[in-house]
Structure 1
Amino acid sequence: MKRAQAIVPSPTAADLVGGLSIVMPVLDEAAGIVARLQSLQPLRRQGVELIVVDGGSQDDTVSLAEPLADRVVTTDRGRGRQMNAGAVCARGNTLLFLHADTVLPPAAMSAVRQALASGAAWGRFDVRIVDGPAGVAVVGWAMNLRSRITGIATGDQAMFCTREAFSAAGGFPEIALMEDIVLSQRLRAISRPACLRQRVETSGRRWARHGLARTVLTMWWLRLRFWLGASPDALARAYGYTPR
Structure 2
Amino acid sequence: MVSVVIPALNAEATLPQTLTALVPAALEGFVREVVVVDGGSEDKTCEIADHAGAEVITAPPNRGAQLRAGANAARHPWLLFLNADTVLDAGWEREAAHFMERFDRGTSRHAAAAFRFALDDDGFAPRLIEGAVRLRGALLRSPYGEQGLLIARRQYDKVGGHRPLPLLEDADLVRRLGMRRVKLLSTRAVSSAARYRRDGYFRHALDNQRQRLLYALRLAPRQAAALRGER
| TM-score calculated relative to the size of structure 1 | 0.85
Q: Is the aligned partner of 1:39 residue 2:21?
A: yes
SS in 1 for 2:94: helix
Q: Is the aligned partner of 1:236 residue 2:218?
A: no
Q: Which residue identity is paired with 1:204?
A: A
Q: Distance in 2 between matches of 1:169 and 1:193?
A: 14
Residue from 29, 36, 52 that aligns with 1:52: 36
Q: Distance in 2 between matches of 1:132 and 1:79?
A: 28
Change in 2 beyond 3 A, CA 1:110/1:166: same
Q: Distance in 1 between matches of 2:74 and 2:125?
A: 38
Q: Which residue identity is paired with 1:207?
A: Y
Amino-acid identity (%):
32
The Cα of 1:39 is off from its aligned counterpart by 3.1
Indicate the residue corresponding to 1:192 in structure 2.
Answer: 181
Indicate the residue corresponding to 1:7 in structure 2.
Answer: none
Unaligned runs of 5+ in 1: 1-18
Q: Distance in 2 between matches of 1:142 and 1:148?
A: 10
Q: Is the aligned partner of 1:70 residue 2:54?
A: yes
Q: Distance in 2 between matches of 1:68 and 1:93?
A: 22
Residue from 16, 20, 27 that aligns with 2:2: 20
- The structure whose residues are more often helix, as a share, is 2
Indicate the residue corresponding to 1:88 in structure 2.
Answer: 72
Q: Distance in 2 between matches of 1:206 and 1:238?
A: 19
Q: Is the aligned partner of 1:112 residue 2:101?
A: no
Unaligned runs of 5+ in 2: 103-107
Indicate the residue corresponding to 1:15 in structure 2.
Answer: none
Q: Deviations over 1:72-117 (max 9, x none)?
A: 1111111111111111111221111110111111221221121132
Range moving further from structure 2, 102-111 or 158-167: 102-111
RMSD over equivalenced CA pairs, Å: 1.8
SS in 2 for 1:215: helix
Q: Which 4+ stretches in 1 moved above 4 angstroms?
A: none
Contact persistence 2:18–2:88 (CA under 8 A): no
Contact persistence 1:173–1:179 (CA under 8 A): yes
The Cα of 1:197 is off from its aligned counterpart by 1.4
Query: Aligned pairs, how many?
Result: 223
Change in 2 beyond 3 A, CA 1:208/1:132: farther
The 5-angstrom pairing of residues 137-152 of structure 1 reads: 137-152=127-142
| TM-score calculated relative to the size of structure 2 | 0.89
The Cα of 1:239 is off from its aligned counterpart by 3.2
Q: Distance in 1 between matches of 2:199 and 2:124?
A: 13
